[in-house]
Chains A and B, each alone.
Chain A
Amino acid sequence: MTQGIPKSVRDALANKRSAEQHPSPDLLNGHVEHSLSATEKAGVMRHLSVCEDCREVVFLASAASENSDAVIPGPADTWRGWKWLVPAVALLTLVSSVLVERPKLFAPRPAAMQAANHQADALPSQTAGSQAATENQTNALMFSPAPQAAPNQQEQIRANLTSRNKTSAQDEVAAAAGAKQTPSETREALADLAKAAPSLPPSSPPVIARNAAVTSSAATAAAAPLQAAAGQAPSARAFGAVGQSSLQSMKKAAAPSGISGDASYRPLTIRSHWRITDEGHLERSLAGDNWTQVLADQPIRFRAVAVVGNDVWAGGNNGALFHSIDGGEHWAQAVLSADGHPETGAVVSIHFDTVSQGSVLTETGSKWITSDRGQSWNK
């Protein structure tokens, strides 16, 4: 303010008088506390501009207010109002990290998962940087606890599976959703796996499926070679195949108990999990560790199970092969026979590329192929 107002203006201001009545203390207080409406505020301001007494009242009331010593921050001091932000963000981060980590630290962990993790840590060729490989290893170990005889082959197979899962995100999504793999991709996978896993010698000991959990066609595609690889170990009890989608389902099921904290897993629909116990019982789990035996009335010692979408295939001794098209609710027995000679060897591997195309391996080395969803089988 380099210069004031002209004397004529000063005189005119001093001589101005309001024709209106003085505002009530209620209005003046509302003006001081900025609680008036726009209309009321304009009216009071108009009166204050010409009434010295009311100006005096509002200034005295304002000075007598409780926060009269408060300093109104100016534009240059604006940043000071945000000083609390830094400790607040730090505190928020700390609290959120504690809340996220707490379930992991204190939640009870299933014994099977703990054992699998211990074995995964013990693997010499495990690469720490590959999260997917670690998950696959852990998952595979969880369902095949005795890979001592052929660890290198199994790791190679898992590496192939991991690379396939990594390079084809769409395949992964399709597998997770239970979609069908294209035959060409399946052939590639089989070719890769065949390179990694040598063919199963006919004289190898019988493969007993245990803890098989198959939830997708991609997992099914890997089932046979993995079984073959695991079957070379004399002490191995063999295992069913577990694919990426199965892993995701398991992670999803385990997430509430704090086992998995990986947030990158996409939510999946609840799907059934399948396994075969040491006693050869076929069991199903819809969620968690709640397993229910199915086909309990059949005097069959099951040794292989495969899942393609809602189709479930389970095979056991004496060439027994059962098929369910509704996720295991209802079952029908398929007959493996050629020229009137039924199959007598135990089914050790079931492999389906699509819902309708698949093959079955028996312990006698026979391979049965179907291309019409099990309506007919050719040797």
Chain B
Amino acid sequence: MYEAAYKIAHDEATARALADSIYAELYGVGQRGELRTSKLYYYLGRGSLAGWLRTVVAQEYINQYRRTRRETSLEKAIEDGKQFGAVEPAENPPSDARLAVATASELDALDAQDRFLLAAYYLDGRTLAEIAKLLRVHESTISRKLDRAATGLRKRIRKRLIAAGMTTRQAEEAIQDVDVRDLPVNIRETLGQATQEASFYKEKGAEQG
């Protein structure tokens, strides 16, 4: 169990704490005067006992992580320079309610596995290898499914937006949902081009004069 905890936490102390905690729960804890209830009571045998223990350890690790994340000390926040950080921008609401409705509808209609793939890859940042290992398929299969799911979702949202009254261009722009800050514009190159253009006209005017 310690090995499993170490593989999950990648830290010896955390792994020890995790393993001890799970041991205690397996032994059974209870209020005074009550019968001890072992965590093993909830093991119903859907998978192997070792796998169940690994899952319990992982779940406990996630719980501990979430608990400790909220307990960040003020000193550490100051050390990290949080007081000088920029104000978090408020979450911009969707520019068009039709886009939100279309997106939510299409996500609900999406297959659960495709939704899982999109969330794991684009939200959680899981690699193709990790997802492939979990689903026991090859990475190329995951890549293909992701591509198909994303493309299909985009097409269906656009179709729904057009059906809701948008033009094709509007639908494309809405789907793109480009933030100016996200535009991949090369400022140096753009400025360089402007400079060249100005100098060109300047030279041309000189010749004419």
Contacts and interface: CB of A to CB of B under 8 A. Distances in A.
A142 B116 CA distance: 81
Given A48-B116, A55-B116, A64-B7, A5 B122 contact: yes
Given A14-B123, A42-B112, A62 B133 contact: yes
Contacts of B104: 12
B119 A52 contact: yes
Contact of B52 (A3, A26, A46, A72): A26
B180 to A, nearest CB: 13
Contact of B150 (A5, A32, A59): A5
B126 A59 contact: yes
B143 interface: yes
Contacts of B85: none
Contact of B119 (A34, A55, A57): A55
Contacts of B147: 1-2
Contact of A52 (B94, B124, B153): B124
Contacts of A3: 150, 154
Interface string A268-294: 000000000000000000000000000
Contact of B107 (A13, A29, A62): A13
Contacts of A72: 132-133, 136-138
A62 B177 contact: no
Given A25-B52, A29-B47, A13 B120 contact: no
Nearest to B146: A1
Interface string A248-279: 00000000000000000000000000000000
A6 B50 CA distance: 40
A62 B150 CA distance: 25
A365 to B, nearest CB: 91
A58 B136 CA distance: 13
A124 interface: no
Given A32-B55, A72-B137, A5 B118 contact: yes
Interface in A22-51: 24-30, 32-36, 40, 42, 45-46, 48-50
B118 A13 contact: yes
Nearest to B93: A11
B108 to A, nearest CB: 9
B130 A63 contact: yes
Contacts of A13: 107, 115, 118-119, 122-123
A283 B148 CA distance: 86
Given A26-B47, A32-B134, A60 B62 contact: yes
A14 B43 CA distance: 31
B113 A45 contact: yes
B85 to A, nearest CB: 22
Contacts of A61: 8, 51, 54-55, 57-58
B157 interface: yes
Contact of A29 (B46, B120, B134, B157): B46
Given A25-B59, A26-B47, A29-B47, A8 B54 contact: no
A11 B8 CA distance: 28
A25 B4 CA distance: 15
A126 B18 CA distance: 87
Contact of A74 (B44, B124, B138): B138
Contacts of B42: 24-26
A33 B116 CA distance: 17
Contact of A8 (B43, B48, B103, B122): B103
A184 to B, nearest CB: 72
26 contacts: A3-B150, A3-B154, A6-B157, A6-B175, A8-B94, A8-B103, A8-B174, A8-B177, A9-B107, A9-B153, A16-B107, A25-B43, A25-B59, A29-B54, A29-B55, A32-B51, A49-B116, A53-B62, A56-B58, A56-B124, A58-B58, A58-B134, A60-B58, A60-B61, A62-B133, A63-B8
Given A32-B47, A64-B8, 18 more contacts: A8-B99, A8-B157, A13-B122, A25-B52, A26-B47, A30-B47, A32-B134, A33-B47, A35-B47, A53-B62, A55-B126, A57-B55, A58-B134, A61-B8, A61-B58, A62-B134, A68-B133, A74-B138
The 6 lowest CB-CB distance pairs between A and B, nearest first, are: A30-B46, A49-B115, A60-B58, A74-B138, A29-B47, A49-B116
Interface of A: 1-14, 16, 24-30, 32-36, 40, 42, 45-46, 48-50, 52-53, 55-66, 68, 72-75
